[in-house]
A and B are shown apart, each in its own frame.
Chain A
Amino acid sequence: MSLKLTTRQVGDVTIVDAAGRITLGEGSSAFRDTIKELVNKGHKKILVNLGDVTYIDSSGIGELVSGYTTVSNAGGQLKLLNLTKRVHDLLQITKLYTVFEVFDDEAKALASF
C-alpha cells in the first residue's frame, strides 16, 4: 500500500492523517511536499497522525525529521500522534523520541499546542 495523506483542520491545528508506507520514493516525497505546502500556506501547528502508517523506512524517518525542521524553522511546531509499536521502536532506536513530542490521544495533542 502506498502512502495516503489527508489533512483536516481542528481550530488552528492542522492534522495530517497518514496511511500506508512512508518509504524512499513516492511515499517520502509525498510527505515532504505536503508539509512544505502547509508551511508555505502559513500553517504552523501541525499534528501528524501515524496511526495507520504500517511501515516507515529510514528515508521516511528522515522525512519526519525534515518536516519537523521545516516547521520549526518557520516558527511552528510539528508533533506526532498515534504511533504503532513498530514506529515507536524506530524512534527509540534512533533516539528521535528525544526530539518529537508524541501523543496517543488526539484531544491531548490538540490541547498541547
Chain B
Amino acid sequence: MPNAESRPEILYDQFLESTLASVDASEEIAKSAAERAGFDEEETYHIGYAVREAVVNAVVHGNLYSANKRVRLRIERTGGVLQVTVEDQGQGFEEAAQADPLARENLLSQSGRGLLIMRAFMDEVEIGRTSEGGTRLVMRKALPGA
C-alpha cells in the first residue's frame, strides 16, 4: 500500500483561456497554492513568477492568444515537491533553437529571458510535448522541510 507521501495532492487543475487575464490569474493561483503548501513569502513570489512566465509563453507563443485554444494549469503536491504543469495547444517548443539570453550578443534582446528566470526560481524545469503536439512544461520546487 503506497504511503501518503507518494500520493499526489491536486491543488489546482483547470483549463484557462488564452488571455492576459489568465496570465494574471495564474500568478495568483500559484501563489495561493504555494502559500498553502507552506512556502515562505520569497519562495511564493518565485513560484508565482515562474508560473506567470510559463503561462505567458503558453498564451502568447503557444496558443497565439487563440480564443479556440486553452492552457491547462495543474499544481500538485507530490513526492516532497510542489509540481506545476503548464500545457498549451500550440505547435511545440524547441529549447535548443532558442538564443542564449546570457550571450553577449543577446543581452540587448527584448525577449527570451522567461525560461532563464523560471530555471533560476524553481529547482527543476522540464520541457516536453503533449500528445497533441503542444508544449508541456513541468516545474518542481522542493516543499519546505522536504
A residues apposed to B, CB below 8 Å = 23-25, 57-59, 61-63, 65-66, 68-69, 86, 90, 93-96, 98-99
Contact = CB atoms under 8 A, between A and B. Distances in A.
A99 B109 CA distance: 12
A50 to B, nearest CB: 16
B107 A98 contact: yes
Interface stretch (B45-53, B70-78, B85-93, B132-140): B45-53
B107 A62 contact: no
A57 B52 CA distance: 8
A58 B52 CA distance: 10
Secondary structure of the A contact surface, majority rule: helix
Interface residues of B, number: 20
A9 B108 CA distance: 27
A78 to B, nearest CB: 12
14 contacts: A25-B20, A57-B56, A58-B111, A58-B117, A62-B113, A65-B107, A66-B110, A86-B45, A94-B101, A94-B116, A94-B117, A95-B102, A95-B107, A96-B107
Contacts of B23: 24
Interface in B8-45: 20, 23, 45
Interface of B: 20, 23, 45, 49, 52-53, 56, 60, 101-102, 107-111, 113-114, 116-117, 120
Contacts of B53: 57-58
A24 B116 contact: no
A66 B60 CA distance: 19
Contact of B108 (A23, A58, A65, A90): A65
A30 to B, nearest CB: 14
